[in-house]
Chains A and B, each alone.
Chain A
Amino acid sequence: MKIVYYAKRNLHVPHLLPVSNWIRDNHPEVEQVFASPPYIPSMEDMPGVGLNETLITDLKHRGYDWIGPSKIGNWRPDVTVMADADFGGIDWQGCIANVNHGLISKGTFYTNRQTVQRENGADLILVPGSHHAKVLQKMLHKPVLATGFVKFDPVGRGELTQQSAREKYGIGAKDRVVTFAPTYNIELSAVPVITDGLRTFANQGLKVLVKLHGMSPESWKQMYRLLALLEENIIYVDDMDLTPSIMAADVVISDVSSAFMEAMALNRPVILVNNPLQKRFPAYDPNDIEYAWRDVGVQVGTRHEIIKSVHHALDHPEDKEDRRKFYGPKLVGPIDGRAAERASTAIMQLAAQYTQRHSQVSAGWNPS
């Protein structure tokens, strides 16, 4: 049996790797490779494509081969596993499983719009929580399964804790930590609202972790990198994975980014910045969870309100905990360290069905 993990972007890798690792540990007979389109870095308003050299090298160090897209056809995979519903460019054989990568809708994913029907391009759709499954099952004719959020497996297994995350960033256990994790769209992001206002926290002795979305404009990255150089208490996080920054936090400032959903699921108080242009976002839909579930955090609109709310949340972390515990499981399923196992098992079943059907067809069996 052969499985190719086709990562269209850098950020898909953390969602694919736990699956490939589980299959390698439990089904060593399965051949696995990673593949990605030719690399194009992200630019202003233009998402990057493919995997950069560092990531490919990292995959190789982890024992995985990487092949270019033109070679996948000859490799003849039984299953292609992806973390996105963008199936463009796939012209090789085998079935497709999509483990998805986000938690929120952004007017495109997990919504009742027609655009989600592109998910039907996969033979198996795996989603994190029951909420996502419920939305997609109404829209799609392909099987949809909620298997949990693989990125939280290390948390579920106790490998990633607040202490270990803080150690990673050189932050003490007693420090009070604010994580700023905004999205990248100008109409939605908290960045234009607070800009360099994060210095206030730094000057008040709080530690500030700035974790920008990978697709953020270069000018935003430059501003926060410079701020981190000027302020000891501001740490610019260049990780690909957001979860350690959330785990390290006492409070999370976000906007409509899936960061606030992760924070909520990990029971961190969240301050939700409403960008004044939010409703002008082309795909704005108040029914999407990033708008419909905002009662899980404190909504703010100005820099002053952000500062005030952060301090309140630091002093009263129990506020809104009931809402976090209500929404959390619907979003990410159980945090038990076994999401990758559930996803991998489903993929192995799909692969088995495919190889069985394929061998029957090869032997002259006519499905009609």
Chain B
Amino acid sequence: MPRILFHFQRPSQLPVLTPVLDVLRDIDGVELAITITPINRRHLDGFDGQNRLQAEKIGLPILDDFTAWNPDAVIMAENYAHRFEGNGKLALVPERISSKGLSFTEHQAAERDNLLDLICAPGPIHKQKTEQSGKVFTSVIGTGFPKLDAVFKEGFAVQAKLKQYARISPKKKAILYAPTEVMPLSSVPILWTRIRQLANDQTHLFVKLHPRSPYSWTEDFRLLAGNDPNITLVREDDLASFLALADVVISDTSSAYLEAILLDKPVVLFENPNQREYPLYQSNDLEYMFQKAAFVTSSFEELNTAVQVYLADPEQHQEERAEARLQLHVDLDGNSAQRVADAILGLLDGIQDSIVSGKHDQADTAIILPVDHFDPENAERTLGTLKLAGAAFNLFVLPLNGHTHEWLDRLASYHPVLLNTPIDMEALQSYQYTCVLQQSVLGFNGWLTRLQNHLRMEKQLQAVVPQLAFGIPSQNPTFRLGTEISPGPQTEQLDHQLKVRIPNERVPLSVAPALSCILIRNIPQNMQIVVSSILEKGKQLPLQHVALAMDTLIEEASENAVYEAEWAYPLSPEQKQLAEERVIALADWIQMPLREQLPPDAPVFNRKGSNGKTAQPATDNGHVRLARHYINRNKRHEAEKQVRFGLEKDPDHPELIALARELGILTGREQ
């Protein structure tokens, strides 16, 4: 029985998602619940007590702790995927049909949509813009815009009836003013209340502000409406009915104007001269693409004239509107909610794959998994990591120092395609990407899909590595700051920034400490060298353009062991060994940004200047270095331990043998 959670960020999303919810409610075996965001007055967002009553009317449980409910899918009208990661498949049924530099756009901000599993696009143009953006690789299905379903269904009230409901004479013309709330894009800061001049005995002006408009705007228009019987400030969230009753719609870049075009309403647009100041401004976004279906004005006088022209002749631009409708909406049949519901159920059934690359038989990634010993804990960890990959792949196991059949059996039971050493490079060439994954790595949800997306987005990138998890727990995609640390708008913002904004950034590899997991774009001439150099740890990576993917996280079992060592004083010899190696690795990593920007012979990094104890990484597993360290500090017992440990691993090591003699320890051979 699938559990589907609907998330409502603000009351205006109720008309978008409720039709979908109503379709799913009628399907047996589907369990539904909702979650709402509490009011945040500073950000003019969320549900206050009164709005909550509206949500309660839906008649479904409103969950505070949705994770405990364990949903299979979360449906949202705005991309808040960062809040719901780890809670099943995530689907977006957009609240807007415009772009605003956030959705259906070529703007970089759209990359956050990669955190979703499915996007339900209102029209063909939305699907096309997303798929051609080169930034979003999530599945997109054209479903239509459920918010307008009721309007397109038979039996919806005619315009005259709607006017009656709105308490104006059916003979009176209705103008709907629906501006956006974004300051540099909105017409409000230019027109302000001069818009009142459009209202008179023959014309009624309805003002519908975006719910997130500044209070000062709402207050101004409230006063205006209070003093003029020909003006109404619309409080309801039901924009569709007011669009339907309007004779002319005035807007700017608001999604409302595109919705008006869907209803074949004449539209007058007002252009804010500051629109390019909008940080996400993108001149080819949807809100600018369909301006030819409207009058575009830049002064109140022009706007007034355009309104009068349309009132006299509403058929102007009718052809352009019809053309726009074909692109902005799939069938205007009132069945969008049904199509969205089908898509979501398809996603849950696995019919609708959430990954662009498709299923395992069409996998475009080969994962090479070097296995060097049997360790049940590591085996489970690796299997878990593979299950969380997200994207389809084929697995190649590379036994390094022998292996047990049990290990391979476990892997085979999960995935049948296994390849023993030597790796067949020709077989790898048939894949677009190769991933080298160390056995001790734990990847988080969707790690492979996310890494792939980075290579898809940036063609010059040759490889990409994920972040290591320790140190910055907030970047764990399943960890939510807002609930784990302290709730509040600031943590919410930070959470959003870490999960949505930063994930879209790729940073140079200089800040990545390990290559325990790396995804490489297959480069025929180099693959053999690349793979071998990754497997031989410490060898320089023969790739120029390698980046760190901020949205992808792994944990390393071996690294954790070092960090545990911090808290276990006094350190055991093994912990000391790990700590020594970790200090060297960290020192190298910290220096790397400087080293890369300076000439190679810059004296800053001349380690020979020190006592040499932490010089170049030791080739002897560190025992020689540590033994000498303890000899210098007159800690003979510790030094002896190091030599014994070293000789256990490599009884023929000449330096260790020499040290053993120096310390008077007899090696096994001499005994």
Contacts and interface: CB of A to CB of B under 8 A. Distances in A.
Contacts of B580: 230
A49 interface: yes
Contact of B471 (A40, A219, A226, A303): A219
Contacts of B490: 37-38, 40, 49
Nearest to B580: A230
B583 A40 contact: no
B493 to A, nearest CB: 9
Interface string B389-415: 000000000000000000000000000
Interface in B520-562: 562
A192 B594 contact: yes
A196 interface: yes
Given A41-B485, A229-B579, A307-B609, A196 B563 contact: no
Contacts of A199: 610-611, 613-614
A142 interface: no
B609 A302 contact: yes
9 tightest A-B contacts by CB? A304-B609, A195-B587, A218-B471, A38-B488, A223-B586, A196-B587, A302-B603, A196-B614, A226-B579
A195 B590 contact: yes
A43 interface: yes
Interface string A294-316: 00000001111001000000000
A192 B590 contact: yes
Interface in B160-176: none
A302 B488 CA distance: 45
A230 B576 contact: yes
Q: Is the interface of B mostly helix, strand, loop or mixed?
A: helix
Contacts of B316: none
B252 to A, nearest CB: 29
B633 interface: yes
B610 A197 contact: yes
Contacts of B653: none
B602 A218 contact: no
A309 to B, nearest CB: 12
B472 interface: yes
Nearest to B613: A199
Max count, chain A CB within 10 A of own CB: residue among B487, B566, B611:
B611
A200 interface: yes
Interface string B654-670: 00000000000000000
B645 interface: no
Contacts of B471: 44, 218-219, 222
Contact of A275 (B472, B583, B594, B610): B594
A307 B594 contact: no
B289 interface: no
Given A38-B488, A199-B613, A304-B606, A227 B583 contact: yes
Contact of A276 (B513, B563, B584, B602): B602
B609 A40 contact: no
A37 B593 CA distance: 34
A219 B609 contact: no
B633 A203 contact: yes
A229 to B, nearest CB: 6
Given A192-B590, A223-B586, A226-B562, 14 more contacts: A43-B472, A44-B472, A49-B490, A192-B593, A196-B584, A200-B611, A219-B586, A223-B582, A223-B587, A229-B566, A229-B579, A277-B597, A301-B604, A302-B604
B591 interface: yes
Contact of B591 (A46, A192, A301): A192
23 contacts: A38-B486, A41-B485, A46-B494, A186-B594, A192-B591, A196-B587, A196-B614, A197-B614, A199-B611, A200-B611, A219-B471, A222-B471, A223-B583, A223-B587, A223-B590, A226-B565, A226-B566, A226-B583, A229-B566, A230-B580, A276-B594, A276-B604, A301-B603
Interface in B592-612: 593-594, 597-598, 602-607, 609-611
A302 B494 contact: no
Nearest to A227: B583
B429 interface: no
Contacts of B586: 195, 219, 222-223, 226
Contacts of B494: 40, 46
B613 A203 contact: yes
B472 A218 contact: yes
A275 B602 CA distance: 12
B485 A303 contact: no
B606 A196 contact: no
A330 interface: no
Contacts of A38: 486-488, 490-491
Interface in A7-66: 37-41, 43-44, 46, 49-50
A209 to B, nearest CB: 18
A40 B491 contact: yes
B66 interface: no
Interface residues of B, number: 46
Nearest to B468: A219
Contacts of B583: 196, 223, 226-227, 230
Contact of B606 (A40, A220, A223, A302): A302
A67 interface: no
Interface string B320-360: 00000000000000000000000000000000000000000
B215 interface: no
Given A40-B491, A219-B471, A303 B594 contact: no
A106 B586 CA distance: 27
A43 B467 CA distance: 14
Contact of A303 (B488, B589, B609): B609
B590 A220 contact: yes
Interface in B618-671: 632-633
Interface string B450-492: 0000000000000000000001101000000100011110110
A195 B603 contact: no
A225 interface: yes
Contacts of A277: 593-594, 597
A200 B582 CA distance: 18
A232 to B, nearest CB: 8
A193 interface: yes
Nearest to A306: B609
B567 to A, nearest CB: 10
Contacts of A303: 604-607, 609-610
A200 B472 CA distance: 31
Interface string A221-260: 0110111011000000000000000000000000000000
A38 B486 CA distance: 7
Interface string A278-307: 001000000000000000000001111001
A191 interface: yes
A192 B481 CA distance: 30
Interface string A175-216: 000000000001000011101110110010000000000000
B44 interface: no
Nearest to A189: B590
Contacts of A275: 594
Interface string A307-328: 1000000000000000000000
A219 B490 CA distance: 25
Contacts of B474: 43
B603 A229 contact: no
A196 B607 CA distance: 10
